[in-house]
Amino acid sequence: MSDTPRTTYLPEGLPIPVPENDGLSAPYWAGLQQDRLLVQRCPRCTTWQFGPEWLCHHCHSFDIEWTEVEPRGRIFSWERVWSPSHDALRRHGPYLAVLIELPHAGHVRMVGNLLGDPLQTVTIGADVEGVFEHHRDSTPSYSLLHWQTTG
Amino acid sequence: MTARAPGERTLRGRVAVIGIGETEYYRHGASPDPEFKLALKAILAACDDAGLDPRDIDGFSSYSDDRSEAGRLAAALGTRRLSTAVMQWGGGGGGCCAAVANAAASIVAGLADCVVVFRSLAQGQYGRFGQAGGIGTISGERAYLMPYGVLAPPQRFAMRVRRYMHEHGVRQEAMQAIALASYHHAQSNPRAVMFGKPLDPEKYNASRWIAEPFHLFDCCMENDGAAAIILVPEERAGDFRNKPAYILGAATGAGYRSGAMPHNSPQYASASFEMLAPALYRMAGISPADVNVVQSYENFTGGVVMALVEHGFFKPEEANGFLTLDNLIAPSGKLPLNTSGGNLAECYMHGFELVIEAVRQIRGQSVNQVKRNDVAMVIGGPMVTPASNLLLGSGATL
């Protein structure tokens, strides 16, 4: 893991993530604010699950638990975005979004941005580590999880 | 082709499309009419095409949360009796064939006798799919995507296509051929928004990236308009003006945990048809070799590659060789594809223009008519959950 970057990867003004009204994902978003990555795991059948749901999709236990996992994984897919789809991204150059799989957490996948040169060559299968990005001055405050290649 | 067994649960041959109608197709924001009026115009056009009194419609079916609500339509049209009002869950164009299947199922089950299936969409009036504005906070699936700039459909689907290209060695040229075919067909279609605007490989390659691997021309348009078809039981198919197109089969849905979000479906690099395609062929009693012409929903060209593979027209490793302009164009390509110009070049009528074009092919009325035209396939929006597909046939196939 790395230190918190000094600036955010994308400009401010994009939609702010918050838990649903029923609170399903609240532990995940709270975890990011504390530099912790939490993923659901079923204590009964050990199935990993992300995004969260109220029950285990494998054994239907409702006693599914949030488990802290190391924020590392590998690139499963990627895209370089050129055309802005939001006012906050106008005049912002291309940026990289990546889909990361976490082999040590049941191969669940999550989307983030790939830090570094937006024109870098991206390799599917490359190892990455997570970098937490905090938006503490935002209302409400929130944190994101980005990725950067290792080695 | 096989005859159906007595008591078999099927749509095969039991329902006919007897009317098709559409409004003029506009660039987004260019419609002089509001969305609901567009819906009314398309429905009346379909009734006129059939020679049907609009008051005899007794059911409405649509998808993607169409805003032209059935009760209001029935009141506006003076519908004598409203017997069925069906909405297919799911956004995007995944429901364009399911809406037809649901209407047909209502008829086969005896719930309704004359159902209009339609889609009305005025992106000028209600906001473009390609722009995400006015959102303060976000939760659910989009909370895992939008803060990272994965906002609009091109960004939501590019990684799926990139993964597919990686797994199977599919090249950009294969996607390019799909765009070229749509634009080629649109040049003979005066209804097409891109009529008079041809595309060639140089223009495709020079076009800006939207989100790699999608060039501008890999992405559907955004449009205003409405389109409708009318279904009746097979017994009544001969009572109308035009040659009927019969439903041979339909399938809707998706495979195991296909909707696991965000981007967590087990079969990620897929268009969601692995289970639907075999079900479709089984109901219709035909194989891919029997299909004469295909309309395959292009949200993005990469989704068409996957959808055609999953419907058995070629293997993923054969995509680069199969997907050439010559193979994909009417009248006699190996697999004439999107013969009206489709979502890329005719109109993004959320795929319903594809259903209408399939009917035209069966009737022999397409501006890009294929030579063999007894069996026409429609594949709904790929890479979404639920998805859907449809086979139409001439009377000779029954």
- Count of structural domains within chain A: 1
- Residue B66: half-sphere exposure toward Cβ, Cα within 13 Å: 35
Residue A10 and residue B148: Cβ atoms within 8 Å? yes
Whether the CB-CB separation of B368 and B336 falls below 8 Å is answered with yes
Distances B169 to B163, B173, B215, B321 between C-alpha atoms, Å: 10, 11, 18, 12
Question: Which residues of B are tagged catalytic?
Answer: 297, 348
CA-based nearest residue in chain B for residue A58: B257
- The 10s digit of each residue's pLDDT in B360-372 is 999 999 999 999 9
- The 10s digit of each residue's pLDDT in B218-230 is 999 999 999 999 9
The pLDDT of residue B1 is above 90 = no
Nearest Cα of chain A lies from the Cα of B288 at a distance, in angstroms, of 31
Helices (H) and strands (E) counted in chain B, each on its own, are 13, 13
Taking CB atoms and an 8 Å cutoff, what residues of chain A touch B132? Answer: 15, 85-86
Q: Is residue A63 part of a domain?
A: yes
Q: How much is the CA Rg of chain B, to the nearest whole Å?
A: 20
Of A34, A145, A57, the closest CA to residue B257 belongs to A57
User: Number of A:B CB contacts under 8 A?
Assistant: 137
Q: In which domain, by residue range, is A62 found?
A: 26-149
Q: Is residue A118 part of a domain?
A: yes
Taking CB atoms and an 8 Å cutoff, what residues of chain B touch A94? Answer: 209
Q: Packing angle between helix B70-77 and helix B35-50, nearest 10 degrees?
A: 60
Q: Is residue A110 part of a domain?
A: yes
The pLDDT of residue B91 is above 80 = no
Nearest Cα of chain B lies from the Cα of A28 at a distance, in angstroms, of 11
The pLDDT of residue A53 is above 50 = yes
The pLDDT of residue B4 is above 70 = no
Q: Is residue A33 part of a domain?
A: yes
- The 10s digit of each residue's pLDDT in A112-148 is 999 999 999 999 999 999 999 999 999 999 999 999 9
- The 10s digit of each residue's pLDDT in B154-183 is 999 999 999 999 999 999 999 999 999 999
B214, B215, B219, B221: CA torsion to nearest 10: 160
In percent, the amount of chain A with pLDDT more than 90 equals 93
Average pLDDT over residues A6-16: 90
**Confidence at B8, pLDDT banded by 50, 70, 90:** confident
- The 10s digit of each residue's pLDDT in B279-289 is 999 999 999 99
- The 10s digit of each residue's pLDDT in A30-41 is 999 999 999 999
Whether the CB-CB separation of B355 and B93 falls below 8 Å is answered with no
**Confidence at A2, pLDDT banded by 50, 70, 90:** very low
**Confidence at B94, pLDDT banded by 50, 70, 90:** very high
The pLDDT of residue B239 is above 60 = yes
- The 10s digit of each residue's pLDDT in B43-69 is 999 999 999 999 999 999 999 999 999
How many angstroms separate the first and last alpha carbons of chain B? 8
The pLDDT of residue A81 is above 70 = yes
The pLDDT of residue A1 is above 50 = no
A contact test, residue of B128, B129, B131, B139 with most A CBs within 10 A: B139
Of B146, B159, B210, the CB nearest to A77: B159
Average pLDDT over all residues of chain B: 96
d(CA B33, CA B60): 21
- Work out whether strand A48-49 and strand A37-41 pair parallel, antiparallel, or are unpaired: antiparallel
In percent, the amount of chain B with pLDDT more than 70 equals 98
The pLDDT of residue B38 is above 50 = yes
Q: How much is the CA Rg of chain A, to the nearest whole Å?
A: 16
CA-based nearest residue in chain A for residue B161: A77
Q: Is the peptide bond between B213 and the residue preceding it cis, with omega within 30 degrees of 0?
A: yes
Whether the CB-CB separation of B61 and B264 falls below 8 Å is answered with no
Q: Is residue A11 part of a domain?
A: no
Residue B139 and residue A80: Cβ atoms within 8 Å? no
B contact test, residue of A40, A83, A98 with most B CBs within 10 A: A83
d(CA B324, CA B230): 35
B206 touches chain A (CB under 8 A): no
pLDDT of residue B7: 67
Q: Is residue A4 part of a domain?
A: no
Domains in chain B, please, with CATH?
15-123+220-397 (3.40.47.10)
pTM of the model: 0.96
Q: Which amino acid is at A126?
A: A
Nearest Cα of chain B lies from the Cα of A44 at a distance, in angstroms, of 20
B297 CB neighbour count, 10 Å cutoff: 34
The pLDDT of residue A4 is above 60 = no
- At a CB cut-off of 8 Å and minimum separation 6, what does B355 contact? B96, B97, B100, B117, B227, B229, B295, B378, B390
Residue with tokens 């050990």: A46
Q: Which amino acid is at B104?
A: A
Of A14, A50, A81, the CB nearest to B146: A14
The pLDDT of residue A51 is above 80 = yes
Average pLDDT over residues B6-34: 94
Average pLDDT over residues B300-318: 98
The pLDDT of residue B137 is above 70 = yes
Of A15, A79, A142, the CB nearest to B135: A15
B267 touches chain A (CB under 8 A): no
d(CA B385, CA A116): 34
Average pLDDT over residues A39-54: 98
How many angstroms separate the first and last alpha carbons of chain A? 13
